[in-house]
Amino acid sequence: MKKTALVGIDVSARTLDLALDSGRGTPPLLTFANTAAGHRKLIARITRGGRQARVCLEATGVYHLSLCVALHGAKGIAVMVVNPRAAKDFARAQLQRSKTDQVDARSLLEFLRRMDFAPWSPPSRSILDLRALSRRIQSLIVSRAQEKNRRHADEVVTDTTPAIRESIERHLAAINEEIETLTQSALEIVRGDDRLSPKLDHLISVKGIAEPSAIAILAELAVLPPDMSARQWVAHAGLDPRHAESGSSVRGQVRISKVGNRHLRAALFLPAMVASQHEPRVKAYYQKLIAKGKRPMQALVAVMRKLLHAIYGMFRHGADFDGCRFIAENA
């Protein structure tokens, strides 16, 4: 009986660096393109001779998901996706000082050898489509802000040709139309899914989370495994505190780790800012932190973290936002 191959893969935008332990000698390091063709070649390599394989890789934004889907659909392959924070802590515990794609692949292979295997299952097609639409919408929103900045700069320059101003206005109109079209497509997916639709309603029950923000938040949370805890959600978003402390004399400022899903952090930022002004209990929590000496940004990040905990409870219990659960009235 053939031994199951163990595979650690470091994923980047263009390449997949792979450490393969097939039970014969030193695990070779291989590189494949992060494309559909590259995925097929990788699968053929790790299952050569009809053997089975267990694969470990990090969640890396948009770059790992297509590979995970391809691996999951291949015969004889089981996939484990680990949070970047867990992988980083494991590498640190192994006294790993170098940071290269090949080193990361070997570290993920060692993680697979030593840790319990947690198989990954792909989200539904509708959820994958929703996240793709949401991220495209957010990209267009960034482009719109850039064009608005150009328009503002153009307004204070007297020698700009009218053709440029007209071009900016046309581009802004096209972006707005595209955002509206994609938002309607995202809403159709959500409202057509009995599991997603109630969650969208729970999100917009928070003063500060409008429909566009709710779509962005839901799209990132819907792909997460259902057995994750609220603390794991926070770590996934990179909102968990990172302490810097050395010996008895060096204590750095506590910051968030930022090792996680930047799209989820971005989706939570504006809702947390608006809720801190207009949702009474959230505002009370924010002001309490300011009174304790926290800087505005520190307090806002704390609101983001606590708001994510609140969303977790709303989803789990199928309930709208309850300010009394966010913070007690006399707290």
Does pLDDT of 269 surpass 60? Answer: yes
DSSP 8-state code for residue 50: G
CA nearest neighbour of 52 among 9, 7, 4, 1: 4
Q: What percent of the chain has pLDDT over 70?
A: 88
Is 237 contained in some domain? yes
Is 86 contained in some domain? yes
Residue 243 or residue 304, greater confidence:
304
- What was the pLDDT predicted at 58? 87
pTM passes above 0.85: no
Domain co-membership, 28 together with 102: yes
- What are the residue ranges of helices labelled H in the chain? 36-46, 65-73, 84-93, 101-114, 125-155, 162-191, 196-203, 211-221, 230-237, 262-278, 280-291, 296-317, 323-326
- What was the pLDDT predicted at 96? 62
Is 71 contained in some domain? yes
Is 201 contained in some domain? no
For 47-98, write each residue's pLDDT tens digit. Answer: 998 999 999 998 876 678 889 989 999 999 999 998 877 888 887 777 665 5
**With contact defined as beta carbons under 8 Å apart, do 218 and 189 qualify?**
no
Is 327 contained in some domain? yes
User: Burial letters for 196-226: b for 16+ Cβ neighbours within 10 Å, e otherwise?
Assistant: bebbbebbbebbbbeebbbbbbbbbbbbeee
For 249-266, write each residue's pLDDT tens digit. Answer: 444 455 665 666 889 999
Mean of pLDDT values over 119-144? 93
Q: In which band, very low, low, confident or very high, does the pLDDT at 237 lie, cut at 50, 70 and 90?
A: confident
Is 31 contained in some domain? yes
For 85-97, write each residue's pLDDT tens digit. Answer: 788 888 777 766 5
∠218-223-224 over CA atoms, to 5°? Answer: 100
Domain co-membership, 9 together with 66: yes
Task: State how far the Cα of 310 lies from the Cα of 230, in Å rounded to an integer.
Answer: 9
Q: What percent of the chain has pLDDT over 90?
A: 61
Is 328 contained in some domain? yes
| Last residue of one domain, picked from the residues 193, 218, 251 | 193
| Last residue of one domain, picked from the residues 148, 169, 193 | 193
Number of domains in the chain: 3
Domain co-membership, 67 together with 154: no
Supply the mean pLDDT for the chain. 87
Domain that holds residue 55: 5-114
- What was the pLDDT predicted at 243? 44
Does pLDDT of 1 surpass 70? Answer: no
- What was the pLDDT predicted at 89? 81
DSSP 8-state code for residue 123: P
